[in-house]
């Protein structure tokens, strides 16, 4: 999906570059929007998620409450044969894998860690862009209701989240000149992951 949060994306382009939520408003009197990456039906009630509708990290009134999440989750569940799920965010130059809601290593973490390191090595080879690798919990911070934790818990082993360029100098306002190079280097990492998935079907 080119954009999983179209309303939020438009708002970030026209009003607030740091906006991260959708634009859901029917159920909330004070503030607008839900952080879709905390709305998935996995560890939803964890204290790592905010229940304040005015927080930029608001998890929503219930798991999969948002139409954007509900439709993707239903599509994947009904399809039943996904082998990889890759989520793209910005920014920080990270490649992460489950878990986000707990410090424990996932059963496939050794394989996922090696694959992620191979992927960022390929990414680095083009322009020298350095990425950090690790679980969400240990690389950034604890979070419940995340996209790739849901994917992993629902049988998709190769679940990753990219946090694309940069590391903070430009933040969410990445210069236009960096957009194509970011895509080019990221594609090299994706090739590594996709080839591995193809050769290690389960």
> Catalytic residue positions?
163
Residue whose token pair is 């996904």: 82
Q: CA 107, CA 68: separation in Å to the nearest integer?
A: 29
The candidate with the shortest Cα–Cα distance to 115, out of 52, 15, 40, 200, is 200
154 SS3 class: coil
41-79 burial: b if 16+ Cβ within 10 Å, else e: bbbbebebbeeebeeebbbbeebbbbebbeebbeebeee
CA Rg value for the chain? 17
**What is the token pair recorded at 78?**
């009904």
């Amino acid at each position: 999906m080119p954009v999983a949060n179209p309303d939020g994306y438009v708002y970030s382009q026209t009003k607030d570059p740091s906006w991260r939520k959708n634009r859901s408003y029917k159920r909330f009197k004070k503030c607008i929007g839900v952080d879709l990456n905390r709305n998935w039906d996995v560890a939803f009630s964890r204290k790592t998620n905010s229940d304040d509708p005015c927080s930029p990290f608001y998890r929503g009134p219930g798991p999969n409450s948002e139409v954007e999440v509900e439709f993707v989750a239903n599509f994947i569940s009904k399809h039943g044969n996904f082998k990889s799920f890759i989520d793209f965010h910005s920014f920080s130059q990270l490649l992460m894998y489950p878990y986000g809601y707990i410090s424990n290593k996932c059963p496939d973490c050794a394989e996922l860690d090696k694959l992620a390191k191979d992927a960022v090595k390929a990414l680095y080879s083009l322009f020298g862009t350095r990425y950090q690798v690790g679980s969400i919990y240990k690389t950034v911070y604890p979070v419940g209701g995340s996209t790739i934790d849901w994917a992993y818990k629902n049988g998709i082993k190769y679940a990753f989240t990219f946090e694309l360029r940069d590391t903070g100098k430009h933040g969410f306002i990445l210069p236009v000149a960096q957009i194509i190079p970011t895509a080019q280097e990221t594609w090299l990492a994706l090739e590594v992951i996709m080839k591995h998935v193809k050769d290690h079907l389960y």
